[in-house]
A and B are shown apart, each in its own frame.
Chain A
Amino acid sequence: MAIPGWKRHDMTALPLKKLEAWRYTDLTPLAEINFSEAGLGVAPAALPDLGLPRAVFINGRYSHASTLPMPEFSPVHETGDLPLAQINAESAQAGLTIDVPDGVDAGAILLVSHASGEAPFAVHLRHRIHLGRGASLTIIDIAKGDGLYWHNPVMDIRLEAGAKLAHYRLQDESRAAFGLATIRAHIEAGAAYEHFSAIIGARLSRTEIHATLMGEEAAAHLNAVQLLNREQHGDFTTVVAHRAPCCASRQTVKSVLSGLARGVFQGRIEVDRIAQKTDGYQMSQALLLSEHAEMDIKPELKIYADDVKCSHGATIGALDEDQVFYLRSRGIPEAQARALLIRAFLDDALSAVRHVQARALFEAAIDTWWVSQ
């Protein structure tokens, strides 16, 4: 079955390393692959459930495994200048569309994107989330799959005044896959976007978030943990734009890298001239478990207002062997001691996840990652 409107990707549209925003993430391996259209795919036997209403996309198509009604999909009019969003716009045929009316607390929903197939294929989902004034919603967003594919979702978020969106994302893509997610959040006065990503899967991934604080006292929390091993490459890139006074942004990013893994964090905070009383905080910490792992951290502050509080910090280190010895001297086996310390390292970022089910999902994913080491 052919997807109507499907066409071969124009790989020359991919961003290249000579672009400053792509300096640390090289998409050449992606450009070299000839992607075909996605087959129908099969839903895995055990889809994540969590007992929540769910929207399930299998190989880019809305699945019967969903319990939420199939969202209407209107054509994409891409106006932004992000190359991956433009490629997505050319091919996207489906995605989650949610509109929460003013004042409604819509609870929590589960969004699952699953991909599997034989030949390399690409999936471009376009999700649109709109929360009316004072509305609230929690999205637990899980990306999984098997085999070699390119998942290139774009999520556009618009939060009207006073709206609250919590977005918890587990990127657990196939270890052979490319996972390039773009999230754009437009946040009006008093509204808050809380994001947490656990970046565990994919051969090469980038999670790029653009949060724009448009009205007074808007807030964005963009937290992440990256757990990468072997030859994985993971990139967490954020751009927080303070376009109004008295807004707050918080970022805590923790990376644990073993084997030949390479992690990237690029965090830009832009503070416009009118954005006085901005409160911005950014912290990126990496734990290297092998001599060959690499972490690149690029904090970038562009501040045009004069009455702001903006801080950033970065650390890169190894596990403290004195701490490991202390635990072992108390009878805790070495592997368990190291797991305990890594979990402790992640705690600052994880403790921001207050949603019980989301928290349990991430804890389980971290445990699984550690056991696979």
Chain B
Amino acid sequence: MLEIKNLHARIGDKEILKGVNLTVPDGEIHAIMGPNGAGKSTLSYVLSGRDGYEVTQGEVFYNSQDVLALAPEDRAAAGIFLAFQYPVELPGVGNANFLRTAVNAVRRKRGEAEMDAVAFLKVARAAIKNLSMKEDFLKRNVNVGFSGGEKKRNEMLQMALLQPGLAILDETDSGLDIDALKIVADGVNALRSARFAALVITHYQRLLDYIVPDVVHVLVGGRIIRSGSAALALELEAHGYTGLEAA
């Protein structure tokens, strides 16, 4: 279970998050929607531990662990996975090597045995097949020369291999690419279980046609101003955020 309590964060002197409260129980998928500049991406980066964001107040717990005290790699080991909106390219780093290094780093921290190259390839090939990816994915450099859709698939492949308990999907403004949305949705839906939760961050309602959330939260001006069922997303799509901001 993820619990965010009165979270305040800023970049430099600019306060972006102004008291976010949010609880995502295991087994549920929550969506965060909001207008540009509401703090959606900031929230995802603060949760995953990126440098440059200063938390000035509040707490975040995941399965009773103090998330904000953990280094990014330890958050990953604790089961938190951030799917990047724009994954970086890593020239010179082979995808297979990268994936195995990541999986083994996480396994080591979780007290599990590391996988040798043969065992890993078996697991990776099975995951690749599930995601309808080509096998040469493993031989290419991480994200180098990948199309937008391929990059998303690679994110979902990493997610499948790292088996997180909580996925944070930053899809802030990728609402226009239907294929990419479907890839992300398939990746999340494949992991749905009583022990998996997801926080889907998006600007457009369209993604939520493919990942049906249990709860929708509306983030405006650094605060969650409304929460509701999936129907709330449709209402936002029809009427926009303007009415809510005034409220």
Chain A residues with CB under 8 Å of chain B are 320-323, 325-334, 336-337, 340-341, 343-348
Contact = CB atoms under 8 A, between A and B. Distances in A.
A328 B92 contact: no
Contacts of A348: 92
B92 A344 contact: yes
18 contacts: A321-B51, A326-B88, A326-B90, A327-B102, A329-B81, A329-B82, A330-B98, A331-B76, A331-B162, A333-B71, A333-B73, A334-B71, A340-B93, A340-B98, A340-B101, A341-B90, A347-B92, A348-B92
A331 B92 contact: no
Interface of B: 48-51, 71-73, 75-77, 81-82, 84, 87-88, 90-93, 98, 101-103, 105-106, 109, 158, 162
A331 B90 contact: no
Residue from the set B75, B77, B88, B103 with the largest chain A CB neighbour count within 10 Å: B88
A331 B106 contact: yes
B158 A330 contact: yes
Contacts of B76: 328-331
A329 B90 contact: no
Contacts, number: 74
A328 B101 CA distance: 11
Given A325-B72, A326-B84, A332 B105 contact: yes
Contacts of B102: 327, 330-332
B105 A336 contact: yes
B77 A344 contact: no
Contact of B162 (A330, A343, A345): A330
A359 to B, nearest CB: 15
Nearest to A322: B88
- Interface pairs A-B: 5 shortest CB-CB: A344-B92, A331-B76, A347-B92, A331-B106, A330-B102
Contacts of B101: 332, 336, 340
A328 B71 contact: yes
Nearest to A326: B88
Contacts of A345: 92
Contact of A344 (B51, B75, B91): B91
A153 to B, nearest CB: 32
Contacts of B72: 325, 328-329
Contacts of A322: 88
A325 B50 contact: yes
B90 A323 contact: yes
Given A325-B72, A328-B49, A332-B101, 16 more contacts: A320-B88, A323-B88, A326-B84, A326-B87, A327-B90, A327-B98, A328-B73, A328-B76, A329-B48, A329-B73, A330-B105, A331-B109, A331-B162, A340-B93, A344-B93, A348-B92
Nearest to A332: B105
A231 B138 CA distance: 40
Nearest to A323: B88
User: Which of B49, B101, B106: most chain A Cβ within 10 A?
Assistant: B101
A344 B143 CA distance: 14
Contacts of A321: 51
A320 B92 CA distance: 14
Nearest to B99: A330
A332 B73 contact: yes
Residue of A320, A327, A333, A334 contacting most chain B CB atoms (<10 Å): A327
A294 B97 CA distance: 31
A293 to B, nearest CB: 21
A347 B97 CA distance: 14
A356 to B, nearest CB: 18
Contacts of A325: 50-51, 72
A331 B93 CA distance: 16
A313 B103 CA distance: 37
Contacts of B98: 327, 330, 340
B168 to A, nearest CB: 10
Contacts of A333: 71, 73, 105
Contacts of B49: 328-329
B149 to A, nearest CB: 19
Q: Find the residue from A331, A345, A348 having the highest chain B CB count within 10 A.
A: A331
B155 to A, nearest CB: 10
A37 B93 CA distance: 47
A4 to B, nearest CB: 51
A320 B72 CA distance: 16
Contacts of B77: 331
A86 to B, nearest CB: 41
